[in-house]
Amino acid sequence: MDQIKKADKGEIKIGNDVFVPLLTEEVIQNRIKELGKQITEEYKGKAPIFIGVLNGSFMFLSDLLKNITIDCEIDFFKLSSYGDEKLSSGNVTLLKELNCDVNDRHIIIVEDIVDSGLSIKFIEGMFQKSKPSSMKVITLLFKPNSLKYNVKIDYIGFEIPSKFVIGYGLDYAQKYRNLTNIYVLSEEQ
Ligand code: IMP
Ligand code: MG
């Protein structure tokens, strides 16, 4: 198994890949505070349900919720996505269903990252038969130049380049989700 090796300038080396810091914990947490404040204001009296997309969104959802000061609920579903690769397989399947009733409720889908938009498109389809009062999407990271599907993202933490990132919930072959900063794959190797 590849171990994380700390290199110079906060870089980390995983096998032959070098990842460099993109967003520090402090920068991430400050932005999440702003998003939490904004959503708290906009959802007063609405008791929204935050619906996390597993596995990647677990850290973001947890920190976001600490900054929501109105009544709210959470639930999760799980989608398959990248497998063990750095590129999407192009297929999405539902691995764990939602357990709550979303009818007549305000729901906020919480994603770690929107890349091609395929997962969000799939999620929109899932809710077509149910009748939430409203549905919005929040993502911590957005790769605008990778978007291939026409989807509406309501809240964005950071727009980032179309490069592979890890940390803060985001994995490479299921690992490195536990890193508190976000790192991007370096091209100079
Ligand atoms: P999309 O369906 O192409 O928008 O991709 C969405 C999903 O792919 C995200 O929820 C992530 O799980 C995964 N993903 C996309 N880009 C990255 C990345 O740079 N690193 C790790 N996972 C990613
Ligand atoms: Mg995801």
Q: What is the pLDDT of residue 54?
A: 95
Q: How far, in Å, is the centroid of ligand 1 from the Cα of 144?
A: 13
Residues within 6 Å of ligand 1 by CB: 56, 81-82, 88, 111-119, 164-166, 170-171
Q: How far, in Å, is the centroid of ligand 2 from the Cα of 50?
A: 15
CA distance 166 to 155: 21
17 is catalytic: no
Q: Give the other-Cβ count within 10 Å of 43's Cβ.
A: 18
CA distance 122 to 70: 29
Single pTM value for the model: 0.93
Query: Which residue, among 38, 16, 33, has the nearest Cα to 155 in the 3D structure?
Result: 38
Fill in the amino acid letter for 30.
N
Residues of the chain with pLDDT under 70: 1-8, 81-89, 188-189
Q: Which atom of ligand 1 is nearest to the CA of 53?
A: 10
Q: Which atom of ligand 1 is nearest to the CA of 118?
A: 2
Residues 6+ apart with CB under 8 A from 102: 49, 51, 127, 130, 131, 132
Q: What is the pLDDT of residue 107?
A: 98
Question: Nearest ligand to the C-alpha of residue 54?
Answer: 2
The H or E element spanning position 135 is strand 134-142
Q: What is the pLDDT of residue 88?
A: 65
Q: How far, in Å, is the centroid of ligand 1 from the Cα of 113?
A: 5
Out of 63, 112, 115, 171, the active site residue is 115
